[in-house]
């Protein structure tokens, strides 16, 4: 199976699904990542472009990712980008990776880029309904990104409500943390949501919630029987 993780910024993919990505790759599946803002020019503590590319490559190698597709959409300005261009870029990634299952941001995340990524991805995944040469999508899942999803405080929007739990085990969580550590300036000290303690604790909690040994939680919003 081919899995595609569609995110706004480098590190979102690891924060939201890093342990699952590692597990799927170890099981022999194709795991790919689409990053819409590949250079994140507005990021605090941003390393040089060459260093950022090194960080992405090192992180993805740890998780066993096959391919990384980067866009150049403006960081923290996706609301100014043409929606159609966002959709078409994601569609091209779907075609290139022959994606069966897609993970992306929850639309109620605090981060505005995450919202627009999610909306564009929801439109793009219908590509199989418009083109006969595209295999039908099997599943679309929203993921939780620590320091963004839990701050989706707008009660007018449906907040992240996990209904799918993937058991990853402690080794996969440790690989997730190792992959995150490749990104300079991303990890924080406890009790920040992007600290080692909180990330591992969240996996332990999601595991306990679902009767599993460490888990990542997702909200499945479209699924075809398979």
At 76, list the tokens: 């923290």
Q: What is the pLDDT of residue 46?
A: 76
Residue 226, in any domain of the structure: no
What is d(CA 53, CA 226) in angstroms, rounded to the nearest whole number?
A: 36
What is d(CA 82, CA 120) in angstroms, rounded to the nearest whole number?
A: 10
Q: Which strands make up the sheet holding 101-105, listed edge to edge?
A: 67-70, 30-35, 2-7, 101-105, 139-143, 215-223, 164-167
Do residues 71 and 89 touch, judged by C-beta distance below 8 A? yes
CATH of the domain at 109: 3.40.50.10320
Residue 7, in any domain of the structure: yes
Q: What pTM, to 2 d.p., does this model score?
A: 0.96
Arithmetic mean of pLDDT, 203-210: 98
Domain membership of residue 141 as a residue range: 2-221
- Written in H, E and C, the secondary structure of 14-67 is HHHHHHHHHHHHHCCCEEEEEECECCCCCCCCCCCHHHHHHHHHHHHHHHCCCE
Q: How many CB atoms lie within 10 A of CB 74?
A: 16
Q: What is the pLDDT of residue 161?
A: 97
Say how many domains are in the chain.
Answer: 1
Q: How many CB atoms lie within 10 A of CB 171?
A: 13
User: How much is the mean pLDDT over the chain?
Assistant: 95
Arithmetic mean of pLDDT, 198-219: 98
Residue 202, in any domain of the structure: yes
Q: Please, what is the Cα angle at 185 between 217 and 199, to 5 degrees?
A: 25
Token look-up 């994140």 returns: 40
Percent of the chain scored above 90 by pLDDT? 92
């Amino acid at each position: 199976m081919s899995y595609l993780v569609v995110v706004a910024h480098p590190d979102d993919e690891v924060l939201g699904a890093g342990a699952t990505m590692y597990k799927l790759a170890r099981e022999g599946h194709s795991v790919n990542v689409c990053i819409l803002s590949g250079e994140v020019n507005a990021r605090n503590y941003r390393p040089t472009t060459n260093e950022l590319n090194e960080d992405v490559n090192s992180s993805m190698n740890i998780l066993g990712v096959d391919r990384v597709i980067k866009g150049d959409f403006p960081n923290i300005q996706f609301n100014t980008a043409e929606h159609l261009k966002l959709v078409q870029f994601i569609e091209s990634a779907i075609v290139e990776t022959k994606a069966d299952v897609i993970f992306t941001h929850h639309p109620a995340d605090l981060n505005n880029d995450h919202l627009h990524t999610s909306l564009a991805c929801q439109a793009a995944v219908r590509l199989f309904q418009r083109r006969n040469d595209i295999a039908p999508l099997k599943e679309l899942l929203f993921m939780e990104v620590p320091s963004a999803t839990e701050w989706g405080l707008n009660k007018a929007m449906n907040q992240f409500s996990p209904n799918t739990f993937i058991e990853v085990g402690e080794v996969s969580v440790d690989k997730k943390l190792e992959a995150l550590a490749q990104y300079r300036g991303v990890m924080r000290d406890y009790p920040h949501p992007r600290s080692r303690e909180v990330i591992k604790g969240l996996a332990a909690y999601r595991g306990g919630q679902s009767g599993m040994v460490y888990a990542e939680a997702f909200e499945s919003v479209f699924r075809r029987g398979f």
